[in-house]
Amino acid sequence: MGSKNKLKRFQENETFSNVIQPTRDEVVGRFPLKGKWNTHFKNDNPIVLELGCGKGEYTVGLAKKFPNKNFIGIDIKGARFWKGAKEAIEEDLPNVCFIRTQIELVDHLFGKEEVSEIWITFPDPQIKYKRTKHRMTNTAFLERYKQVLKPEGTVNLKTDSEFMHGYTLGLLHGLGLEVLYANHDVYKNEGSPKEVLEIQTFYENQYLEKGKPITFIRFKVN
């Protein structure tokens, strides 16, 4: 993407009512919507997050399927989620919002037990050992998710990385956390939730064209 396109998208994001772009200090200090997201959506419907949302395919796709839930995509790359934010506005989806910030600040954005569900779609597996701290299902991230999720809340991991799938399953079993469902090839093996099969991201389509299996895990951290 050219720098002119990025600049244009950044500028357009500034005009979108469904995009929030706080500074890091604003998030770490006292984020005004923490524990009060019902005031933003003007309802008490369940809140679902897509972390590292990219173009926002799952944020928007799930919002269309479940109008009685509120969906928030979080990513530091605003030029990417511009597409999802624009689509949500054009299709008049009031239950969609995007936040431009670092994912590791999730527990500063939401109050205790304020979130019902988390989706992590095609994260960088960070295969090198020295990158372990950046894996979105490592113990530090799981602890952050635990802080904001309701007791019955779930985390969904959809990835093309067999390493990430295996790493996460091993970690969950080692920590004694409940795995509700696991599938190492969702399009080959039956049983995956409809939303796993019916919503596909830009990168997922590329992986499928290469014949890579797509994996999925649904688990609890509480």
Q: Give the pLDDT band (50/70/90) at residue 1.
A: low
Q: Give the pLDDT band (50/70/90) at residue 58.
A: very high
CA distances for 136 relative to 15, 19, 198, angstroms: 30, 23, 23
What's residue 39's pLDDT? 96
- 145/104 Cα distance (integer angstroms): 10
CA dihedral 176, 179, 184, 185 (to 10 degrees): -170
Question: Are residues 195 and 62 in contact, defined by beta-carbon separation less than 8 angstroms?
Answer: yes
What's residue 61's pLDDT? 97
* 10: pLDDT strictly greater than 90: no
Among 186, 179, 51, smallest CA distance to 107 is for 51
* 29: pLDDT strictly greater than 70: yes
pLDDT tens per residue, range 113-143: 999 999 999 999 999 989 999 999 999 999 9
CA distances for 202 relative to 7, 26, 72, 73, 79, angstroms: 22, 31, 18, 15, 15
* Percentage of the chain modeled with pLDDT above 70: 98
Q: Which two tokens mark 7?
A: 């600049």
**Radius of gyration for the alpha carbons in the chain, expressed in angstroms and rounded:** 17
- 68/64 Cα distance (integer angstroms): 10
- 40/61 Cα distance (integer angstroms): 20
What's residue 12's pLDDT? 84
Terminal CA-to-CA distance of the chain, rounded, Å?
A: 40
Mean pLDDT of the chain: 95
- 84/35 Cα distance (integer angstroms): 24
The catalytic residue positions are: 124
Counting every residue, how long is the chain? 222
